[in-house]
């Protein structure tokens, strides 16, 4: 199989870049020509939606003619009561999302697409984690919304930042999946798809 470094990240998410760079793998960033905020999932299942978006992003970068390397596209959504919850579009939207999670559990799914830069190989997978938010007070929600830290985040929050800030959060699964990239699975997948050992640190 024709997989090689560097990883060409089809995302401008600083969190995803930081997670990849923390492994020591060489990373390049190329902005995808896909605006998921303009797309509607409608009746598509959450797992199918995030993997489709990951593929769209990776493909858009592949069509730019980048390379050599392995393109990585990713997308993250939350699911509550069978409904896909993506990124909030405004402050009130973020507040509604967070209040809907209160005293309940919801799922967070991240889809990933790996594509060889020449298009010869493709591998798509997803990972899911469960997050439980306790009785977060309205005052804490309003204070958080005032910071605008909810912008650009699926479900309107970043798990580890909110946990460090004292939010009553518990989770089951890879916390990296919740923050945008399932690193446990990704390490396993890179071995499974035959990423050349000499290209890895």
Q: Which residues are the active-site residues?
A: 75
> Residues with Cβ < 8 Å from 34, sequence gap 6 or more?
53, 56, 57, 60
- Integer Cα distance of 7 and 22 in angstroms: 13
What are the DSSP E strand ranges found in the chain? Answer: 7-9, 27-29, 70-80, 83-85, 104-116, 122-133, 169-172
- Integer Cα distance of 136 and 140 in angstroms: 7
Please report the DSSP string for 123-156 in residue order.
Answer: EEEEEEEEEEE----HHHHHHHHHHTTTTT-GGG
Say how far residue 124 (Cα) sits from the centre of its chain.
13
Q: Say if residue 165 is exposed, middle or buried (CB neighbours under 10 Å; 0-12, 13-18, 19+).
A: middle
- Integer Cα distance of 168 and 104 in angstroms: 11
Which value, in Å, is the radius of gyration of the alpha carbons in the chain?
Answer: 17
């Amino acid at each position: 199989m024709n997989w090689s470094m560097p990883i060409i990240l089809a995302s401008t998410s600083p969190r995803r870049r930081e997670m990849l760079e923390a492994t020591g793998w060489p990373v390049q960033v190329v902005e995808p020509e896909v605006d998921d905020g303009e797309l509607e999932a409608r009746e598509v299942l959450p797992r199918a939606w995030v993997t489709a978006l990951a593929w769209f992003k990776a493909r858009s970068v592949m069509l730019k003619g980048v390379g050599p390397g392995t393109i990585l596209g990713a997308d993250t959504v939350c699911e509550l009561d069978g409904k896909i919850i993506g990124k909030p579009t405004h402050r009130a939207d973020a507040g509604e999302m967070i209040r809907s999670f209160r005293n309940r559990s919801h799922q967070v799914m991240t889809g990933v697409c790996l594509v060889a830069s020449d298009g010869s190989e493709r591998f798509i997978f997803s990972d899911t984690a469960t997050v439980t938010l306790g009785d977060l007070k309205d005052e804490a929600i309003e204070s958080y919304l005032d910071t605008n830290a909810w912008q650009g985040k699926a479900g309107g929050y970043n798990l580890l930042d909110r946990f460090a800030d004292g939010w009553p959060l518990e989770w089951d699964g890879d916390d990296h999946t919740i923050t945008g990239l399932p690193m446990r699975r990704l390490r396993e997948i890179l071995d499974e798809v035959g990423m050349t050992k000499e290209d890895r640190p």
